[in-house]
Structures are given as structure tokens and as C-alpha cells.
Amino acid sequence: MREHSFITDYLKNPYSSVLSVSGNTKVITALSLDMKVPPHVKSGGWLTAEYSLLPGSTNVRSARERSKISGRTAEIQRLIGRSLRMAVDLEKIPGITMLIDCDVLEADGGTRTASVNGGMLAVAIACRKLADEGIVPENPLKNWIGAISGGVIDGKVVMDLDYEKDSRADTDFNFVFSENGNIIELQGTAERVPLDEGRFFELLKEARICVKDIIAEMKSIAGFTK
């Protein structure tokens, strides 16, 4: 696993913000509050995410998505939003939407998992702040979650793939676990060779260990573990 680090309060203006670093991958996750919820929300609050690559973040320049977003972007930001909604008890933030902006400064593999992790820390900080400031009566944090990618290269399980490894992998999985190791989200594709059960169990096991470490790292950052 590459080194994972987090810089909190990276931006001045958002309600909370984190620079999430995994190896050479760097993602700014910024949380803003919107004091209303989308029409489909009948009770409680909401959390949603947006994801974008800076044009200069990638090897070959990524064109801005100014007339419509790609399917890849849509898929990634839905995964981030779904995962982070499991971190918050939405009933405890009635009428409030948490909007998580994930902007990738440097992309070297694992941008979606770095976004989930940075987003998690931004959510935890925001939840504490909401309660501290009396905007909601109690801290709405429900679960700590963490994410990691993994794949199979030349028959071997490899975690936390950088861009070069990701390009060579036969299979590519993203795992999101809760702190106690339960599954929050799991998405994987055999890109070249169908994946046998044995390798998959190995991937799952390794991923769970990695995520445990990442959550511990995150909690130590902003004084969540005493």
C-alpha cells in the first residue's frame, strides 16, 4: 500500500476540506452545506458528491467537461456519494445537504478511493462542527468508512494500484468498508481474465486490512481518537 496522508483545512472557504494524498495521487475534497434538500428526499437530510479531474492532473491532458460529463465521471461520483451517505445519519441533519466536491490535482491511480477517504474525513470534521455550532443537536456521524483499490497482476494480488499497475491489471476492484470490516460498496471488473473465487477472497481480505489502517490514520489526524 502506498503512503496515505491527509491535510485538513486545506481550503479557507468550504465548511470543511481535506487534501487526500495516496502516493502521487492528490485530491481536494471540500464539503459545503446547502440548507435545503433535493425534492426526492422526504425526510432527513442528504449528501451528494461531485468529482472532476483538473485538466493538468493526468498524463495526457483531460479535457474539461463543460457541455456534459462523461459516463466515467458519473459512475465515480455516484459511488462516492453512495458510500459517504453510509457515514452519516441523514435523519440527524434534517433539511441540510452535504455537498462533497472532489477535485483531482494529480492522478496516479486510485482517485476515486482517495476521494472517498478525503471525503470521509471532511464529513467527520463537518459532523463535529455542526454539533459544536449547535446547528444540529447531536453529532450525526454514523460510521467511519474507508476505501482501497486492488487488482490482479500476473496472477498476483496487488493493492492500491498506481496508474502504471492499473494499466497492467487483469482485474480492477474498489472496496469500501466500514470501520468494523463490513462491506459498504464493492465494485469490480475483470478487464482481461475472469476472476476466480480464490483470488477474489484474497483481494477482499487484503482490502479489509488496508482500509482498517486508513481509517485509523484518518481518525488520528483531527483528534478523533484520544
Q: How many residues sit close enough to a copy of itself to count as binding (CB under 8 A)?
A: 62
Q: Per rule CB under 8 A, is residue 7 in the interface with a copy of itself?
A: no
Beta bridge partners of 17: 30
The crossing angle, in degrees rounded to 10, of helices 111-132 and 197-221 is 40
Whole-number Å distance between alpha carbons of 168 and 151? 9
CA distances from 125 to 77, 86, 165, 190, 219 (A): 21, 16, 33, 36, 10
State which of residues 5, 36, 91, 186 lies at the interface with a copy of itself (CB under 8 A): 186
Site map for a copy of itself, 45-84, x if CB under 8 A?
Answer: -----x-x-xxxxxx-x--xxxxxxxxx-xx-xx---x--
Whole-number Å distance between alpha carbons of 108 and 57? 9
Site map for a copy of itself, 13-52, x if CB under 8 A?
Answer: xx--x------x---x-x-x-x---------------x-x
Rounded to the nearest angstrom, the gap between the alpha carbon of residue 165 and the centroid of all alpha carbons in its chain is 20
Phi/psi at 122 (nearest 5 deg)?
A: -65, -35
As measured in angstroms, the least distance from the Cβ of 17 to a copy of itself is 6
As measured in angstroms, the least distance from the Cβ of 200 to a copy of itself is 6
By CB under 8 A, name the binding residues for a copy of itself. 11-14, 17, 24, 28, 30, 32, 34, 50, 52, 54-59, 61, 64-72, 74-75, 77-78, 82, 86, 99, 101, 103, 105-106, 143, 171, 173, 177-178, 180-191, 194-197, 200, 204
